[in-house]
């Protein structure tokens, strides 16, 4: 199947770059955009889709007949689905999203229900023998956390989703994993935050017993089951914005025995040296739809801002380095006065090319519509194909370098 050319890895892009909250709009974006990308990168092979389903579309696909029809439509176009972006619940384009993207969070029952619906949809869409993944909110937006009791409640809700994943494995013979996606200014902000939460709550005695109770599994298998079905979605932009090396984040998760079902391949915006001229130019990226968390490093200290306008208003003009959560095309190393974090993405891709069990690889540059015009001067399908080509070429070069001549 397409792009499973390196250790059986699955490579795709996330359809959250295209507007479409309802099932009819999802069908339309698949026909208009995904099929065009497939023709550009894999005209003769099946192409895996990284599907983004809002709650409205997911609820519509809960209908058995609608889901069967959608699966047949994908197959007729040479498409299949192996991963779902279950992070944005509602509207994600042409409106103010900002901090609302995290709602409902894992403190609310709607988030658990929505994720269970996505899991059952993916269980039906997965081809035989292909694993599935669902990326999700990293708990909640940090200012919305309601204290330690909320941490336990969020963990319990995630364990309940694992029970659904266990049921899918039993009833359909398919494996689906839920992947929490650390992000700046969220409850799980860094890799260390994620590791702490997994060990304290998701792999705890309380979590193991809850899974035994709700899924009816052998207590001896509880931790292994949790580790198989719960993991981290490593977004390389998010890591780099936090001044974390994505490669080191990957290695840290591997060393801790935390699975990484999916890597979201993305690049953030970097300002290597803050000058008045550069900061003035940075205002072009300060738009009103998405949250652009900003981290400024000066003299070895990190200062975090919830959004770029706040950073521009409060951060002093110094020689500090700025990193902004603004997903930019991964094939761009330079963007005028700025750079991308591409150089931190490439080492991770080079390592993933050679690992025995490569995670799902999903390009996720969803900000195409809000990029400054000079950086989106080609059709989105062409840009996506270029991004997939960049990843495939990087993987292939890395694999060739380690093969015996």
CA distance 23 to 75: 17
DSSP secondary structure letter of residue 330:
T
The whole-number pLDDT of residue 350 equals: 95
The whole-number pLDDT of residue 186 equals: 98
Residue pair 126/132 in contact by the 8 Å Cβ criterion: yes
Residue pair 319/274 in contact by the 8 Å Cβ criterion: yes
The whole-number pLDDT of residue 147 equals: 86
Place of tokens 């199947």: 1
> Could you tell me the pLDDT band of residue 2, with boundaries at 50, 70 and 90?
very low
- Radius of gyration in angstroms for the set of CA atoms belonging to the chain, rounded to a whole number: 20
DSSP secondary structure letter of residue 99:
G
Omega within 30 of 0 (cis) for the link into 104:
yes
Token couple for 349: 């891709």
Domains of the chain: 11-269+338-402 (3.20.20.150)
Please state, for a pLDDT cut of 70, what percent of the chain lies above it: 97
174 has pLDDT over 70: yes
320 has pLDDT over 60: yes
> Could you tell me the pLDDT band of residue 347, with boundaries at 50, 70 and 90?
very high
Token couple for 361: 């690889």
Token couple for 400: 């060739």
How does pLDDT run across 104-126, given as a tens digit for each residue?
Answer: 999 999 999 999 999 999 999 99
Count of residues for the chain?
405
CA distance 137 to 323: 21
358 has pLDDT over 50: yes
93 has pLDDT over 60: yes
8 has pLDDT over 90: no
Return all residues near 338 (Cβ < 8 A) that are at least 6 apart.
269, 270, 271, 278, 281, 282
Helices 222-229 and 205-215: crossing angle in degrees, nearest 10, is 90
The whole-number pLDDT of residue 405 equals: 58
Please state, for a pLDDT cut of 90, what percent of the chain lies above it: 91
Omega within 30 of 0 (cis) for the link into 57:
no
**How many helices (H) and strands (E) are present in the chain, helices listed first?**
15, 14
How does pLDDT run across 10-25, given as a tens digit for each residue?
Answer: 999 999 999 999 999 9
How does pLDDT run across 249-290, given as a tens digit for each residue?
Answer: 999 999 999 999 999 999 999 999 999 999 999 999 999 999
Burial level of 293, CB count in 10 A (0-12/13-18/19+)? buried
Cross-strand pairs, 234: 263
The whole-number pLDDT of residue 317 equals: 81
4 has pLDDT over 80: no
The whole-number pLDDT of residue 1 equals: 38
How does pLDDT run across 24-74, given as a tens digit for each residue?
Answer: 999 999 999 999 999 999 999 999 999 999 999 999 999 999 999 999 999
For the residues 70-90, what does the mean pLDDT come to? 97
């Amino acid at each position: 199947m397409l792009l499973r050319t390196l250790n059986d890895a699955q490579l795709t892009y996330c359809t959250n770059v295209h507007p479409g909250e309802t099932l009819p709009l999802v069908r339309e974006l698949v026909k208009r955009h995904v099929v065009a990308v497939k023709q550009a990168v894999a005209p003769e092979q099946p192409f895996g889709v990284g599907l983004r389903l809002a709650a409205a579309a997911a609820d519509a696909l809960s209908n058995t007949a609608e889901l069967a029809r959608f699966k047949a439509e994908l197959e007729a176009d040479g498409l299949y689905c192996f991963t779902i972006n279950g992070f944005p619940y509602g509207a994600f384009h042409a409106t103010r999203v900002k901090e609302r993207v995290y709602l409902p969070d894992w403190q609310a029952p709607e988030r658990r229900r929505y994720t269970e619906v996505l899991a059952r949809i993916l269980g039906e869409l997965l081809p035989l023998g292909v694993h599935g993944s669902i990326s999700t909110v990293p708990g909640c937006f940090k200012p919305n956390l309601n204290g330690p009791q909320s941490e336990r409640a969020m963990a319990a809700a995630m364990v309940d989703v694992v029970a659904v994943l266990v049921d899918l494995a039993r009833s359909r013979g398919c494996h689906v994993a839920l992947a929490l996606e650390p992000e700046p200014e969220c409850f799980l902000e860094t890799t260390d935050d994620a590791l702490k939460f997994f060990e304290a709550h998701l792999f705890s005695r309380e979590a193991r017993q809850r899974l035994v109770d709700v899924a009816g599994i052998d207590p001896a298998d509880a931790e292994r089951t949790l580790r198989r079905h719960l993991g981290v979605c490593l977004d390389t932009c998010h890591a780099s914005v936090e001044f974390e090396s994505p490669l080191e984040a990957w290695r840290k998760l591997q060393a801790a025995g935390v699975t990484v079902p999916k890597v979201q391949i993305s690049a953030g915006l970097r300002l290597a040296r803050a000058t008045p001229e550069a900061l003035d130019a940075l205002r072009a990226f300060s738009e009103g739809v998405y949250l652009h968390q900003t981290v400024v490093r000066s003299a070895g200290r990190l200062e975090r801002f919830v959004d770029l306008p706040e950073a521009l208003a409060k951060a002093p003009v110094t020689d500090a380095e700025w990193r902004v959560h603004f997903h930019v095309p991964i094939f761009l190393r330079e963007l005028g006065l700025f750079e991308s974090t591409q150089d931190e993405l490439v080492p991770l891709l080079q390592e993933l090319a050679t690992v025995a069990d490569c995670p799902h690889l999903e390009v996720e540059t969803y900000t195409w519509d809000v990029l400054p015009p000079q950086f989106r001067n080609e059709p989105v399908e062409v840009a996506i194909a270029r991004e997939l080509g960049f990843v495939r070429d990087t993987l292939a070069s890395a694999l060739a370098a380690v093969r015996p001549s």
